[in-house]
Amino acid sequence: MKVLIAEDHKLMAEGLCALINSRPDLDLVGVVHDGRAAVKLASQLAPDVVLMDIGLPKLNGLEATRQISSQCTDVKIMALSMHSEKRYVEGMIKAGATGYMVKDCVFDELSQAIDTVADGKTWLCRSVAGSVLDNYFESLRRNRSSAATALTNREREVLQLIAEGRNTKEIAGDLNVSVKTVETHRRQIMKKLEIHSVAKLTKYALREGLTSL
């Protein structure tokens, strides 16, 4: 497995080199100290994994990751950083990195992390995994809350019955309301969701868990 190191701190680079060289199945193909060199060498050597420092000179690690990911789709990138804040982690993942490690835990976890990332999976070190998952689930909760409150309770009932194939007259009978009331609910549902066909309403209902049909 070919590994390229992009790290501008000499001691850190030497430690990474020692770790890579300690494994006979890893081939250290190069060490660079700025982002432009990382992009150039990744294009030339096509390493399996790039260990990418975020704070690189000339071209930062985030931009270097973005360029490598767009030019060399088979190259996997493991971000290395002193920072565990959400904005750094999300920035690197959005740029194309499939792994993120804070430097104070890198030597304990890096060997396993390299294997995981090279295998096409995602790796987050322990110090950032919890906060990333917390943010992810909070985002899911906000999205679900937004979807749930877009419609009234009665509108969700009507939407479920529409998705289950009931016509307007049948829905009116099920809910003991007039046909006109059901038609009003249908118009309001379509307006609120900006969805204007029964097929798309059905897909929405399935996606939001309003029906299992």
pLDDT tens track for 61-93: 999 999 999 988 899 999 998 877 777 888 888
Q: Which of 116, 80, 122, 62 is nearest to 98 (CA)?
A: 122
pLDDT of residue 190: 92
Question: For 148-167, how does the pLDDT look when each residue is reduced to its tens digit (9 = 90+)?
Answer: 567 888 998 899 999 999 99
Decide the pairing of beta strands 49-53 and 99-102: unpaired
Walk me through the domains of the chain, giving residue ranges and CATH numbers: 2-125 (3.40.50.2300), 145-207 (1.10.10.10)
pLDDT tens column, 10-53: 989 998 999 899 999 999 999 999 999 999 999 999 999 999 99
Residue 213 in this model has a pLDDT that exceeds 70:
no
**C-alpha pair distances (Å), 184 with each of 60, 69, 178, 181, 188:** 55, 50, 10, 5, 6
φ/ψ of residue 197, rounded to 5: -145, 150
Say whether pLDDT at 186 is over 90. yes
Please determine, for residue 129, whether its predicted confidence score (pLDDT) is greater than 80: no
Residue 27 to residues 41, 57, 66, 113, 204: CA-CA distances in angstroms?
15, 25, 24, 16, 49
CB 28 within 8 A of CB 17: yes
Whether this model's pTM surpasses 0.95: no
108 pLDDT band, cuts 50/70/90, is low
